[in-house]
Amino acid sequence: MSSQERREFIRTTSAKSYRRRALSSRVFTALLVIALLIAFVPLASILQNVVGHGIRYITWHFLTTSQQLPSITNTNGIGGIGNALAGTAVVDLIAVLISIPTAIVLAMAMFEIKGRWVVAVRTAMETFIGLPSIVFGVFTYVSLVVTTHQYHAYFGSLALCFIMIPVMTINALAALQSVPDTLIEAGLSLGLRPSRVMLHIILPAARARVFTGVFLAFSRAVGETAPILFVIGASTLPGFNPSGQATTLPTLMWSYLIGAYPSQREACWGIALVLMVTVLFFNVLSRIFVARTQRS
Amino acid sequence: MTTTHIDPPTDDGALSAGRERKLPTGSDRAYGYTLWTVLTLVGVIVFYFIYVLVKNSIPGWQFAGWKMFTTTTWSFGDNKFGVLPLVMGTAFTTFFALLMAVPIGVGAALAIVYLIPRRLQLAVSSLIELLAVVPSIVYGVWGALVMASWLGNSGEPWLKRVAHGAWPFDGATAGYGMTLGAIVLAVMIMPIVTAISRDVIVAVPKELTEGALSLGATRGQVIRKVILPSCKTGIVGAVTLATGRALGETIALATVLGGVTQMSPLPDRAFATGSTLAAEIAIDFGAITGKAGNVLFALALILMVIVGAVTYLARSIIRRNERQFQ
Amino acid sequence: MDTAETRDNVTLGEGSSDAVLSLRDVSVLFNNKAAVRNATFDVQANKVTSLIGPSGSGKTTLLRAMNRLHELTPGATVTGQILLEGEDLYRTSVPITVLRSRIGMVFQRPNPFPTMSIYDNAVAGLRFIGVKDKDFLEESAHKALSEAALWDSVKDRLKAPAATLSGGEQQRLCIARAMAVEPEVLLMDEPTASLDPVATKQIEELVTVLKQFVTIVIVTHNMQQANRVSDNCAFLLMAEDRTGELIEFDTTEKIFNDPKDSRTLDYTLGRFG
Ligand SMILES: Nc1ncnc2c1ncn2[C@@H]1O[C@H](COP(=O)(O)OP(=O)(O)O)[C@@H](O)[C@H]1O
Ligand SMILES: [Mg+2]
């Protein structure tokens, strides 16, 4: 075949196949668009239900009074979520107070120290991020509830630390590693001690990304049910005592979801709305910090 | 999504090579000790965690015996510990969740990157990733209170009608069951698949797209013949990570699966009820006592090993893929 | 290369009869800001036309306009006319995929498809446009790889991944890939920018050979290269407002030895850019 014939053949084929190719391309891209649209259906359904069913629960009464068990005479009387809000505050606050410093120091250690031990701990943290959270619930139950025969709010905090510390640590480590070497060398060349370099140069430079991890971890932990369900007991009174028992928003939802009364199940939506707003708030905070680090 | 927002640390987790710093130095001893103390403490807790789970599982293994893996009756209250229904329930829900979530998730990611205006890309993908921050318990509520009745009243009868009641779309339709579990899981893992696939797709060099276009490829051809093959490893990583998540999901499934029945314990049809390893731990925990309790710890350990291995595999795949384009 | 003869026998610029590609008042705008303004020149058949000029003067931008690649960039617009054998690329009813297969492109960085073998890369374009005949594909691969001076070194490993080739070989594979669809024009954007001197020399030799099969437009910021390989040369420069302008278009001989514009002389003598 001469060059000219080849060119002719290719041009003819190209012109002939064009319609088919254009059509199959259009069908394929249409499928992608459909996939994208389908991806929004569950989100729309969840938001619609959570907001639609939940919004009428958002009253001062609901937010501040404690839960009540419906009775045969008043099957709708479920009270409010004041006790669960208090419980959530106590359990999560303690968890955060333990997790943040631990995670940051741990990340600093992984940054400064070399060796197998560090690699092992880091791999463990990375693996923990992906583990089913119920495993941490089981562990906390076995190691604390079984040995003390008691339920405490702070047991839940400790269980949540297993969720938060790995996420915070891995994020903080990446943050520390993203600080430019030149900045660190500048500090060292001034004769600063490693601790000063870390505290006054590396950590401030990495701050925004560290916070990203903190908020991300927290937004995950707030909604966790499985790790704390078995270890914090339950409390229908609003109390802030870490050594007392506690009910949190997710555990209250769980007990309502498996509860006997329709009014309890319906109230799940109200709690879900409060929970979603809380989770979203912290997730958006983390995103703001992500955006900030990307800009700088 | 959680996973995608965590930038993996560079491989030399410790001090990068050029930086010579020895710890602890004379005047900085307190700093070094603090670091070592926390590192050691966390390491010890990790070992203690493994030790506790293993130690408490052993009585469970002994109590339940090998017939755990050969019998099909799981009835916690009666000390019948055949885990096959749970294993199969886990496999069933995860597999069908992937079957739904992967094409939709990858397709959505491709649409986000290639088909919608750049201004909207971030907004659209953030919206989908919103699904990843919805707590498990909210999915549980949505599944049990919304999807269950929809499936029971419309979805499953429709499937049954379309299939003329042929297997696997035969038998009673309750709404609760394996299909509902798979759908709930699919919704939960879809954002993971989308988020990671999107990152992987965005990382494909623009030159490849342009090279294909300049040869006369259509947009569909570019995506199918050039982009997708280049993204294969990354997408496999995303799917593996999603698998890990699906295998371990507990609370969202605990109220939607309907429970293992004595009559037909194995999920042998689409509308069968059943349970999964993870969900069953939460369900039976209320009745936990003595040796039977140890059986639950054993289940937790199995679950942890499987999910840990899958997640570890996923991370190494994703990391290898990230290096590919550097 | 006989530039003297070229100059004598051929009328350059507008209206020349053997123009494969004619640019008329071509401007490219990104978000309404012009990157190249009012470029007018003809690309002659079976000649090498080089685009030279300092970085940012719009060479790449202009080259991509000749393949309608700017359509991928949101906010990019091309005005004026680009005629491929008399047919306006931007106003024709011929579908863009058919058009693009008539105009090959080689990029700054070698971009073979990493998941395909050497053979699959070479025939990728043919497969895209619907050629299925196995014999024809094999023949085309042989022809294109030979034209790209790659056949002998890869004929025993056609099934190997393209990524196993060296940088220079990868770039030649990209040339083969483009040549396989028998384009009328081959656009090359600094094809040697990422290559070592030996590979660069091979590509340059290839360009001078290939022009018997295909009309070539090559962007380069290396003036010796433009001088060595091209017959005609377009010189672009940024105006005050940083928009690229075509300063001068002529035979390469003229541009380098006897330019009309003093800025061309300054540039070719290396006084700036
Ligand atoms: N996609 C784009 N969006 C906005 N501006 C662009 C884009 N591509 C190129 N430009 C601008 O066009 C000008 C010319 O760029 P280019 O054609 O790459 O120059 P050269 O190839 O001569 O170095 C530059 O000022 C550049 O900023
Ligand atoms: Mg350029």
Of C72, C111, C178, the CB nearest to B205: C111
Which pLDDT band holds residue B326 (cuts at 50, 70, 90)? low
Token reading at B15:
């001090």
Query: What are the tens digits of pLDDT across the range A266-293?
Result: 999 999 999 999 999 988 888 887 777 7
Q: In terms of domains, do A25 and A149 share one?
A: no
Q: How far apart are CA A62 and CA A64, in angstroms?
A: 6
Q: How far apart are CA A293 and CA A275, in angstroms?
A: 27
Q: A residues 4-43 near C, CB within 8 Å?
A: 6-7, 9-11, 13-18, 20-22
Q: How far apart are CA C142 and CA A5, in angstroms?
A: 16
Contact C228, C205 (CB under 8 A): no
How far does residue B223's CA lie from ligand 2's centre (Å)? 26
- B146 in contact with A, Cβ within 8 Å: yes
Look at residue B24 and tell me if it is in a domain: no
Q: The domain containing residue B197 runs over which residues?
A: 57-325
What is the predicted pLDDT for the residue at B13? 37
Of B48, B127, B223, the CB nearest to A43: B127
- Which three-class secondary structure state does DSSP give residue A258? coil
Look at residue C41 and tell me if it is in a domain: yes
| Whole-number average pLDDT of chain A | 92
Q: In terms of domains, do A11 and A133 share one?
A: no
What is the predicted pLDDT for the residue at C26? 96
Look at residue C273 and tell me if it is in a domain: no
C13 phi and psi angles, rounded to 5 deg = 85, -160
Which pLDDT band holds residue C30 (cuts at 50, 70, 90)? very high
Contact C217, C49 (CB under 8 A): yes
Which residue's C-alpha comes closest to atom 20 of ligand 1?
Answer: C56
Which residue's C-alpha comes closest to atom 25 of ligand 1?
Answer: C56
Look at residue A132 and tell me if it is in a domain: yes
What is the predicted pLDDT for the residue at A296? 57
For the CA of C62, the closest atom of ligand 1 is 17
* Type of residue at C177: R
* Subunit partners of chain C (3 or more CB pairs within 8 A): A, B
Which CATH number characterizes residue B99's domain? 1.10.3720.10
What is the predicted pLDDT for the residue at B1? 36
| CA-to-CA dists, residue B17 to A200, B126, B269, angstroms | 22, 37, 57
* Type of residue at B286: G
The answer to whether the Cβ–Cβ distance between A225 and B220 falls below 8 Å is no
Look at residue B106 and tell me if it is in a domain: yes
Q: In terms of domains, do A42 and A186 share one?
A: no
Domain count, chain A: 2
Look at residue A77 and tell me if it is in a domain: no
What is the predicted pLDDT for the residue at B8? 47
Which of chain A's residues have a Cβ under 8 Å away from the Cβ of B142? 45-46, 49-50
String of DSSP letters for A55-124: GGG-SHHHHHSPB----SS-TT--B-SHHHHHHHHHHHHHHHHHHHHHHHHHHHHHHH--SHHHHHHHHH
Look at residue A76 and tell me if it is in a domain: no
Look at residue A94 and tell me if it is in a domain: yes
Q: How far apart are CA B280 and CA B23, in angstroms?
A: 48
Which CATH number characterizes residue C189's domain? 3.40.50.300
ipTM of the modeled complex: 0.92
The answer to whether the Cβ–Cβ distance between B137 and A114 falls below 8 Å is no
Comparing C-alpha atoms, which of B267, B297, B292 is closest to residue B281? B297
More reliable by pLDDT, B6 or B304 = B304
Query: What are the tens digits of pLDDT across the range A224-252?
Result: 999 999 999 999 888 899 999 999 999 99
Q: How far apart are CA B5 and CA A160, in angstroms?
A: 20
Which pLDDT band holds residue B265 (cuts at 50, 70, 90)? confident
Q: The domain containing residue A134 runs over which residues?
A: 82-295
> Radius of gyration over alpha carbons of chain C, in Å?
18
Tokens 């000749």 sit on residue = C66
| Whole-number average pLDDT of chain B | 88
Look at residue A250 and tell me if it is in a domain: yes
Q: How far apart are CA C254 and CA C244, in angstroms?
A: 21
Q: Is residue B27's pLDDT more than 70?
A: no
* SS3 per-residue string spanning chain C: CCHHHHHHHCCCCCCCCCEEEEEEEEEEEECCEEEEEEEEEEEECCCEEEEECCCCCCHHHHHHHCCCHHHHCCCEEEEEEEEECCEECCCCCCCHHHHHCCEEEECCCCCCCCCCEHHHHHCHHHHHCCCCCHHHHHHHHHHHHHHCCCHHHHCCCCCCEHHHCCHHHHHHHHHHHHHCCCCCEEEEECCCCCCCHHHHHHHHHHHHHHCCCCEEEEECCCHHHHHHHCCEEEEEEECCCCCEEEEEEEEHHHHHHCCCCHHHHHHHCCCCC
Q: Which residues have CB under 8 Å from A294's CB, separation 6+?
A: none
Residues of chain A with pLDDT under 50: none
Token reading at C167:
């940088």
What is the predicted pLDDT for the residue at B321? 80
Look at residue B9 and tell me if it is in a domain: no
What is the predicted pLDDT for the residue at B227? 96
Look at residue B145 and tell me if it is in a domain: yes
Contact B88, A3 (CB under 8 A): no
How far does residue C60's CA lie from ligand 2's centre (Å)? 4
Look at residue A68 and tell me if it is in a domain: no
Which of C27, C28, C30 best tests ligand 1's pocket when mutated (most atoms within 8 Å of CB)?
C30
Q: Which residues have CB under 8 Å from A23's CB, separation 6+?
A: none
- Which three-class secondary structure state does DSSP give residue B81? strand
Chain A nearest CA to C153, separation (Å): 23
Q: How far apart are CA B89 and CA C78, in angstroms?
A: 59
Contact A156, A230 (CB under 8 A): no
Q: In terms of domains, do A50 and A163 share one?
A: no
Q: Is residue B290's pLDDT more than 90?
A: no
Query: What are the tens digits of pLDDT across the range B118-175?
Result: 889 989 998 998 898 999 999 999 999 999 999 999 999 999 999 998 888 888 888 9
Look at residue A198 and tell me if it is in a domain: yes
Look at residue B31 and tell me if it is in a domain: no
The pairing of strands C76-84 and C48-52 is: unpaired
Look at residue A27 and tell me if it is in a domain: yes
Domain count, chain B: 1
The answer to whether the Cβ–Cβ distance between C101 and B230 falls below 8 Å is no
More reliable by pLDDT, C118 or A184 = C118
Q: b vs e for A226-259, b when ≥16 Cβ sit within 10 Å of the residue's Cβ?
A: bbbbbbbbbbbebbeebebbbbbbbbbbbbbbeb
Query: What are the tens digits of pLDDT across the range A252-270?
Result: 999 999 998 999 999 999 9
For the CA of C59, the closest atom of ligand 1 is 22
Q: Which residues have CB under 8 Å from B239's CB, separation 6+?
A: B98, B102, B193
For the CA of C57, the nearest ligand: 1
Look at residue B47 and tell me if it is in a domain: no
Span B49-74, mean pLDDT?
90
- B43 in contact with A, Cβ within 8 Å: yes
Tokens 């394996």 sit on residue = B178
Which of C30, C33, C61 best tests ligand 1's pocket when mutated (most atoms within 8 Å of CB)?
C61
Q: How far apart are CA A139 and CA A231, in angstroms?
A: 10
Rounded to 5°, angle at Cα B142 from B137 and B145: 115
For the CA of C63, the closest atom of ligand 1 is 17
Q: Which residues have CB under 8 Å from A113's CB, separation 6+?
A: B14, B15, B23, B35, B36, B39
Q: Which residues line ligand 1 (CB under 6 A)?
A: C 30, 35, 53, 55-61, 73, 244
Which pLDDT band holds residue C177 (cuts at 50, 70, 90)? very high
The answer to whether the Cβ–Cβ distance between B133 and A219 falls below 8 Å is yes
Q: How far apart are CA A197 and CA A204, in angstroms?
A: 10
The answer to whether the Cβ–Cβ distance between C129 and A21 falls below 8 Å is yes
> Radius of gyration over alpha carbons of chain B, in Å?
24
The pairing of strands C215-219 and C185-189 is: parallel
Q: The domain containing residue C82 runs over which residues?
A: 3-9+19-268
Domain count, chain C: 1
For the CA of C236, the closest atom of ligand 1 is 22
Which of chain B's residues have a Cβ under 8 Å away from the Cβ of C115? 226, 229-230, 232
Look at residue B129 and tell me if it is in a domain: yes
CA B279 to chain centre: 13
How far does residue C107's CA lie from ligand 2's centre (Å)? 10
- A240 in contact with C, Cβ within 8 Å: no
- The separation between the first and the last C-alpha atoms of chain C, rounded to the nearest angstrom, is 27
Look at residue B40 and tell me if it is in a domain: no
